Structure 1
Amino acid sequence: METTAQTSISRRDPAQVMRLSRLGSLHQSRLSFMRVLTRRLARENWSFSRPKFDIDENGVGVAVFSATGPARTYSLVAFSHDLPPEMRSDRVIATAWDSTFALFDGIPTDEDIERLSKNVPYQEAGRVSETEISVSRANRSVRLWEHVVSALAEGKQPDADQLQAVGYLMRTTAVYGSGKLGAADREMISARPEFQVPFQAEMLSVFLTRWYVRDLVQHMADMRAKAAGRTAAQLDPELARSLGIGNSTGLGMAPFLLNHPVLFNNWIASREEAIRTVRSLDRASAEEISLFQELLLRSKKNVALWHSEHEIQVRKLSELRSDLEKIDSYLGNFEALTGSYPWDQLYRWAEETLTLEGQEWLASLMLEPYGALVDELSDGMAADNTPTFRISGAMTIEELRNLLERVYEWAIGTDWQKAENRARAWYVSEEKLEPRLGERFEEPVEEYEQPLAPGRDAAALFRALAHWQGETRVAEFLLRHPEHRHSVRRVQIAGRAPYAEIRDNTISQDVLPIDMLRCKLAFFGATQFDPRSDRWVRICMYGNAPYPQDLSAENADFWVYPSLEEGAKT
């Protein structure tokens, strides 16, 4: 059955989409960066090799994992360390880790590995070069790691329930790119097709890291069994596949969305265009409905396995599970999808019936049968900020006022004199060199505040314009009031990029930074969000994904949803 597009459906209003409560309810989708990467690797038939694995019985040494595409090879250089338990920390200020990594542009020579060995294990205390694309580190999930090594060394499989409860054997605490520590700047690699979509280098690094973790835990079990005169069991492939890479993400990531408004706009706009495209289809074929039905069941399994002890996420999970029952009731035997404009009807029902968590879960799932229509939207998710940030001094004050009223209506109507509306202040910690959120009226942080409250600053700009003539040019205003340049720039950006600005107060007493963290991580493709406070969250990446050597066109896309046939093994 051919489908045709309805042209009257628009993208959702930024005033609806760009609220923190909704952004903090986003889920992975076809446009998530991990899935974009695995589809490309399979489509282009990349090959993978392990040219070096020199690690001793104590888990100390170096290994190299290479990925070769149509034009280039990239290699993960992994350093494995024997870290004392008291030195293991997920904090950014840690100085030692169980494993440290660099993604190398090409295949490293022995001299390259020697150079990296003197720098990568020290992370911020070391320096790399333009031949390195990213630098990262990871720590073991200690109890689970020991359980897996011990079980395999004794010739047994590890307990599937224990694996499922954690979901990973190692978690990264940072994956640095874009010039960090001397690595290649984004501009040096952005023209390469494989890195055109944002964060593809970092996602490749994590994809290869997962392979390293599987091989390392097997190696440690083999060495322990050999010392005892036994032969270790080989980790069951399905158990191995159920394991992803964990990640601990804190406040350091939250300002990214505020500091990259054009890039953020392109992410959201691509997703919103995908949702609009699917809602505009006048019919769903039997094959499309069947795929949606299968993936809905598989996604529900993901939700069933998703646990958290944080009160916010516990509530959201409860609401989502209730929403799933409502979806089942609405869809019935899926006849609801056989009428005209079925996805628009489904979406409109969800908007009236479900929580934000359920609405966004369903919005992502609706895209799944339509890769041919929406996948190319990922090509527009990158951004060159340079021309977009140029202020237009020729704009009139009247035009600027109109933009402010359209984009920042909520901010202009906020009473910024009330303490609760400006209770927090973003600053950079001198000790940790990372963003922090302080209590404005309880800590001496206001002097060091970062410009991460665009709503408050836009309202101040609006007040400053009150007595200026409408036909006056912005350039003249800024000559008199240069303190408002950053706000004028943001307003003009939002005028051209409608999803560039969060339409919420980022310094209120009620702000939840985890909403910003979850939004960014959902675009990465993360699952199993588990907040540990309102300021940091643990996630899982590449859980259920094929390993590089098993990647194929058949398994490169829907791996994010666990198979229904795997039973307890997933």
Structure 2
Amino acid sequence: MTAQGTHIARRDPADVMRLKRLGSLHQCRLSFMRILTRRMAREGWRFSRPVFDIDGNGVGRAVYTAQGPERAYSLVAFAHDLPAELRSDRVIAEAWDATFALFDGVPTAADVDRLSQNVPLQEAGRVSESELSLSRANRSVRLWAHVVDALAEGRQPDPEQIDSVGYLMRTTAVYGSGKFGAADREVIADRDELQAPFQAEMLSVYLTRLFVRDLVQHMADAKGGDRAARLDPAIARRLGIGNSTGLGMAPFIVNHPVLFNNWIMAREEAIARVRGCQSASAAEIDTFLRILKRSAVSVERWRSQHPIQIEKLAELKADMTALSAHVGGDALRGDAPWDRLVRWSEMALSEEGQELVASLILEPYPDLVDGLSCCMADGNPGAFTIDGAMPVGEVRSLIRNSFDWALTMDWDAPENCARAWYVSEEKLEPRMGERFEEPIVDYEQPLAPARDAASAHKALEAYSDGQPVAEFLLRHPEHRHTIRRAQMNRVAPYGEIHDNTISASVLPIDMLRAKLSFFGATHFDPRSDRWVRICMYAGAPYPEDLTPDTADLWVYPEVAG
């Protein structure tokens, strides 16, 4: 039994919502991949492969169906023979090694034929409301060739090469929520299994990983014939699905303040609940210590070539040593052990280490944490409506709640407004450019909420506290988005980034990691300050091994011995 103790307040948004901290978040029990695998195991989902029409060159089509208690969902996959010169992870690519759609139900042959004319084209094609997501992936060429060749020759691939890459294919986009004709979020939002955020996309990636395992085995069998080996299930489990994510995702957490607030608030509430535990049982301490050891293995396998992440990894490895030594004695015994551990981490560890501790302390407490997953979707459309009757004084107070730090900043100083966000004409994707070097100001997107809040706050000085804000907006409609965001603060205290998103020193990779950590991504590997590679589902059980006992802690590698 969990011993409940004193109430611990959630951490202050002014501390949590700094980009450096958001860029240090790790997966946790509330990560979307783990929510999905727990559900599928608990509900006994069944999986089948009704179609696998792939030739010896790895070209063809396949269908994988996941049957839940009420509905089925099917990944329709198309495998292609992609010339090396056309392989690119950039969003402007026009050809891929594999393309996918997640179909709502079980597709007919006519559905698959229809999708074959559109899914391989991605943005240039169109899907229908019967599809929930559209995605594509490229092979990790060297590891793919190594695995095919090894299996074809009757031997297993080199574990070191497996761990150095971590995936056989990486997705370059998983589109959902109405893009290119796919079903809008509202179509599926009331389904229990898809109520938590991004569950359709996470299911698509889970089934993609199954397809990739089958495809590499199929190509090895075609090459090696009777002498080909079966891929060792233990090696297969270590392989995830890679992902290349760039600037297109970064504005998401700015554009969805209520939704992102719900993610952060759920995690912060979970942390506060565990910190409030009066004591920890021997079983709870044992669970934490076992997961800590497994997490240390994951950190050791984490590789990056980017100077920022190399430095953060060095700090994190030192943190793991300090953390293991700290909890090796009696640190987790006595009153309020988790609160004391968090307070110690704030003094002794880097932000990477602090946020890892915050995630790890949740693991022994599924009963306190897992139910919060139902609070993470955005079910509050009314928050978007501006309350024109709100007095100006209250609006001013709301702006100060989130942006007090920004109101005295010199927004004319070049270093404070060096960047500008815009949408590229070629791909209709968000981009970030240099304000004083490129002709982009006329196309700037409202992705600088701190600057805009300071501007609106200054303009409000001409109005008395008692005036309705509608009078202000009649004369200053350019501030509508800021007033809307300020009013959202009443229900979304974690909805605003407490940093300058257009400064000369802003790192969009921090914004990317904040979102991807909630997906459940691991082993973040920035390739510049604007794009990052990650791994998804590495260690996860495949359908034949998915049980309540295997469905959750797979994200942490097993410890030998």
Fold equivalence (TM over 0.5): yes
Q: 1:70 matched to which residue of 2? A: 69
Change (3 A) 1:447 1:288: same
Alignment check: 8 A CA contact 1:95 1:122 kept: yes
Amino acid at match of 2:6: Q
Q: Identify the match of residue 307 of structure 2 among 311, 328, 346.
A: 311
Q: What aligned pairs does 1:277-288 form with structure 2 within 5 A after superposition?
A: 277-288=273-284
Alignment check: 8 A CA contact 1:257 1:520 kept: yes
Write out the 4+ residue segments of structure 1 that deviate beyond 3 Å after TM superposition: none
Distance in structure 1 (CA, Å) of the matches to 2:284 and 2:366: 11
**CA deviation after TM superposition for structure 1 residue 386, in Å:** 2.4
* 1:560 partnered with 2:555: yes
**Which secondary structure state, in structure 2, belongs to the residue aligned with residue 496 of structure 1?**
coil
Q: 2:251 matched to which residue of 1? A: 255
Distance in structure 2 (CA, Å) of the matches to 1:135 and 1:124: 9
- TM-score (normalizing by structure 1): 0.97
Amino acid at match of 1:5: G
Q: What aligned pairs does 1:495-514 form with structure 2 within 5 A after superposition?
A: 495-514=490-509
Q: 2:124 matched to which residue of 1? A: 125
Alignment check: 8 A CA contact 2:18 2:497 kept: yes
Distance in structure 2 (CA, Å) of the matches to 1:372 and 1:437: 42
**CA deviation after TM superposition for structure 1 residue 259, in Å:** 0.5
**CA deviation after TM superposition for structure 1 residue 2, in Å:** 4.5
Alignment check: 8 A CA contact 1:92 1:432 kept: yes
Distance in structure 2 (CA, Å) of the matches to 1:372 and 1:114: 46
Q: 2:359 matched to which residue of 1? A: 364
Alignment check: 8 A CA contact 1:78 1:100 kept: yes
Amino acid at match of 2:497: I
Alignment check: 8 A CA contact 2:450 2:499 kept: yes
Change (3 A) 1:2 1:57: closer
Q: 2:14 matched to which residue of 1? A: 15
Structure 1, gaps ≥5 residues long: none
Alignment check: 8 A CA contact 1:47 1:549 kept: no
1:158-215 C-alpha deviation (Å, 9 max, x unpaired): 1110011000000000001101111111100010000000000000000000000000
Distance in structure 1 (CA, Å) of the matches to 2:532 and 2:27: 16
Distance in structure 2 (CA, Å) of the matches to 1:532 and 1:266: 29
* 1:240 partnered with 2:236: yes
Distance in structure 1 (CA, Å) of the matches to 2:128 and 2:188: 14
Distance in structure 2 (CA, Å) of the matches to 1:98 and 1:407: 45
Amino acid at match of 1:517: L
Q: 2:404 matched to which residue of 1? A: 409
**Which secondary structure state, in structure 2, belongs to the residue aligned with residue 479 of structure 1?**
helix
Alignment check: 8 A CA contact 2:5 2:336 kept: no
Count of matched residue positions in the alignment of Structure 1 and Structure 2: 561
Q: What aligned pairs does 1:264-303 form with structure 2 within 5 A after superposition?
A: 264-303=260-299
**Which secondary structure state, in structure 2, belongs to the residue aligned with residue 138 of structure 1?**
strand
* 1:338 partnered with 2:337: no
Alignment check: 8 A CA contact 1:426 1:437 kept: yes
**Which secondary structure state, in structure 2, belongs to the residue aligned with residue 464 of structure 1?**
helix
1:57-94 C-alpha deviation (Å, 9 max, x unpaired): 11111011110010011110100011111111101111
**Which secondary structure state, in structure 1, belongs to the residue aligned with residue 101 of structure 2?**
strand
State which drifts further: 439-448 or 401-410. Answer: 401-410
Distance in structure 2 (CA, Å) of the matches to 1:56 and 1:494: 55
Distance in structure 1 (CA, Å) of the matches to 2:97 and 2:5: 52
Alignment check: 8 A CA contact 1:208 1:548 kept: no
Q: What aligned pairs does 1:422-461 form with structure 2 within 5 A after superposition?
A: 422-461=417-456
Distance in structure 2 (CA, Å) of the matches to 1:53 and 1:406: 56
**Which secondary structure state, in structure 2, belongs to the residue aligned with residue 495 of structure 1?**
coil
Alignment check: 8 A CA contact 1:101 1:137 kept: yes
Distance in structure 2 (CA, Å) of the matches to 1:331 and 1:554: 26
**Which secondary structure state, in structure 2, belongs to the residue aligned with residue 375 of structure 1?**
helix
Q: What aligned pairs does 1:14-413 form with structure 2 within 5 A after superposition?
A: 14-226=13-225, 230-333=226-329, 335-413=330-408
Distance in structure 2 (CA, Å) of the matches to 1:354 and 1:21: 14
- TM-score (normalizing by structure 2): 0.99
**Which secondary structure state, in structure 2, belongs to the residue aligned with residue 465 of structure 1?**
helix
**Which secondary structure state, in structure 1, belongs to the residue aligned with residue 401 of structure 2?**
helix
Alignment check: 8 A CA contact 1:102 1:136 kept: yes
1:280-305 C-alpha deviation (Å, 9 max, x unpaired): 00010000000100000000000000
**Which secondary structure state, in structure 2, belongs to the residue aligned with residue 392 of structure 1?**
coil
Distance in structure 1 (CA, Å) of the matches to 2:396 and 2:189: 36
Alignment check: 8 A CA contact 2:131 2:182 kept: yes
* 1:492 partnered with 2:502: no
Alignment check: 8 A CA contact 1:133 1:178 kept: yes
Amino acid at match of 1:251: L
**CA deviation after TM superposition for structure 1 residue 400, in Å:** 1.2
**CA deviation after TM superposition for structure 1 residue 385, in Å:** 5.0
**CA deviation after TM superposition for structure 1 residue 384, in Å:** 3.2
**CA deviation after TM superposition for structure 1 residue 332, in Å:** 2.2
Distance in structure 1 (CA, Å) of the matches to 2:559 and 2:320: 17
Alignment check: 8 A CA contact 2:447 2:501 kept: yes
**CA deviation after TM superposition for structure 1 residue 480, in Å:** 1.2
**CA deviation after TM superposition for structure 1 residue 494, in Å:** 1.5
Distance in structure 2 (CA, Å) of the matches to 1:180 and 1:484: 29
Distance in structure 2 (CA, Å) of the matches to 1:494 and 1:426: 23
Amino acid at match of 2:44: N
1:311-338 C-alpha deviation (Å, 9 max, x unpaired): 00001001111111221222123x1111
RMSD: 0.9
Distance in structure 1 (CA, Å) of the matches to 2:321 and 2:142: 36
Distance in structure 1 (CA, Å) of the matches to 2:504 and 2:197: 32
Alignment check: 8 A CA contact 1:5 1:277 kept: no
**Which secondary structure state, in structure 1, belongs to the residue aligned with residue 385 of structure 2?**
coil
The percentage of counterpart residues that share the same residue type is: 66
Distance in structure 2 (CA, Å) of the matches to 1:291 and 1:80: 42
1:360-411 C-alpha deviation (Å, 9 max, x unpaired): 0000000000011110101000003521111111111111111122211111
Q: 1:6 matched to which residue of 2? A: 6
Distance in structure 2 (CA, Å) of the matches to 1:467 and 1:178: 41
Alignment check: 8 A CA contact 2:285 2:332 kept: yes
Distance in structure 2 (CA, Å) of the matches to 1:486 and 1:415: 21
State which drifts further: 147-156 or 402-411. Answer: 402-411
Distance in structure 2 (CA, Å) of the matches to 1:216 and 1:5: 52
Distance in structure 2 (CA, Å) of the matches to 1:509 and 1:147: 42
